[in-house]
Amino acid sequence: MEDRGRPQTAVLLTGTDDGGLVFAGLWDEWRGPEGSLLSCTIVVGRPNGLVAEIHDRMVVILPEDAYATWLNPRTSLDTVRSLMEPYATARMRAWRVSPTVGNARNEGAALIQPV
């Protein structure tokens, strides 16, 4: 697969502790005359040093001490903005994986093994 003439490289990004990464997201419910519509989005921002080598933006990842603040509907907009800084590069790892990871029909642990 190519994007703007550049071959795409599949990369696995994870935390240094191999635990999950928590993405900043937003959801809303719109109510109209024909019912309601639930929607959600994942927030994207500037990349950290690791991701900048791969892409010009990245998902906003929240550190554990920010979860309650992000989820509190009374959090000020300035505080929310402060949480949207790039996640610490030192807390992430990355490695190339097989491009077959990009096909939803493929399954299995082999997809995330380094190539």
Tens-place pLDDT, residues 75-84: 999 999 999 9
Q: What is the mean pLDDT of the chain?
A: 91
Nearest CA to 23 out of 87, 82, 75 is that of 87
3-state secondary structure of 36: strand
Which amino acid does the sequence have at 69?
A: T
Q: Is 45 exposed, middle or buried (0-12, 13-18, 19+ CB in 10 A)?
A: middle
- Tokens 């929310």 sit at which residue? 80
Q: Would you state the pLDDT for residue 9? A: 84
In the structure, what pLDDT confidence band is assigned to residue 5 with cuts at 50, 70 and 90? low
Which amino acid does the sequence have at 75?
A: T
In the structure, what pLDDT confidence band is assigned to residue 18 with cuts at 50, 70 and 90? confident
CB 82 within 8 A of CB 71: no
Domain extent, residue 24, equals 2-112
Say how far apart CA 11 and CA 34 lie, in whole Å. Answer: 42
Q: In the 8-state DSSP scheme, what is residue 9?
A: -
Q: Would you state the pLDDT for residue 1? A: 40
pTM of this structure: 0.82
Tokens of 40: 């959600």
CATH of the domain at 42: 3.90.1680.10
| Model confidence pLDDT, tens digit, residues 31-65 | 989 999 999 999 999 999 999 999 999 999 999 99
Which amino acid does the sequence have at 15?
A: G
Number of domains in the chain: 1
